[in-house]
């Protein structure tokens, strides 16, 4: 079963990847004509990745629960 240290490492990794200093660069212009489109692409792809990881974890947990039930 998953433990608290696993979830702490996942949260830490997510916080590192979403740090504000990573996205702060000289070319980051919110007034550009393509800014809204680029932000929509970025956040939708991030959400899609998060959903895929969540689905994979969900399937893994379901699989482990069914293996525990069949082994009893």
Are 70 and 7 spatial neighbours (Cβ–Cβ below 8 Å)? Answer: no
Predicted pLDDT of residue 38: 86
DSSP alpha helix (H) spans, 1-72: 4-17, 20-23, 35-71
Q: Low-confidence residues of the chain, pLDDT below 70?
A: 1-4, 18-27, 71-72
Tokens encoding 38: 């680029």
Are 64 and 1 spatial neighbours (Cβ–Cβ below 8 Å)? Answer: yes
Predicted pLDDT of residue 26: 66
How many CA atoms within 13 Å lie on the side-chain side of 54? 6
Predicted pLDDT of residue 27: 67
């Amino acid at each position: 079963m998953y433990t608290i240290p696993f979830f702490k490492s996942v949260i830490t990794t997510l916080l590192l990847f979403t740090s504000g200093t990573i996205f702060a660069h000289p070319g980051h212009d919110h007034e550009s004509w393509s800014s809204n489109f680029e932000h929509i692409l970025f956040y939708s792809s991030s959400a899609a990745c998060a959903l895929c990881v969540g689905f994979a974890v969900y399937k893994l947990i379901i699989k482990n629960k069914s293996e525990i039930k069949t082994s009893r």
